[in-house]
Amino acid sequence: MLLAAARARERRTVILDGTRYHFSAHQRSGMAHSPLPGTVLVELVALGTGLGDLARPATEDTRRSREEALTAEADRLLARIRALP
């Protein structure tokens, strides 16, 4: 899957701008630095951000709306990941 391509870095890299995201699953991990628009990693970051938004206090209508949007986003991402070679 996505993390199957993760490899240990051969040397340390200093990153001065952007955001670094760490992903892990099933004893594998990987890092993405400011993922490019349109990539699966950008969608994964957005899903994580959406989970954070869902955890914030909100009215019932807002919470329901966030939950529905997050569910649809997760479904789209899962379909895209399953379609990967």
| Helix residue ranges, H only, 12-59 | 40-55
Q: Which two tokens stand for residue 5?
A: 């391509």
| Domain boundaries, given as residue ranges, for the chain | 2-82
The answer on pLDDT for 82 being more than 90 is yes
pTM of the complete model = 0.71
**Burial class (CB within 10 angstroms; exposed 0-12, middle 13-18, buried 19+) of 2:** middle
Averaged pLDDT, 9-28? 75
Cα separation, 77 vs 39, whole angstroms: 10
Q: In this predicted model, what pLDDT tens digit does every residue of 42-70 receive, in sequence order?
A: 899 999 999 999 999 999 999 999 999 99
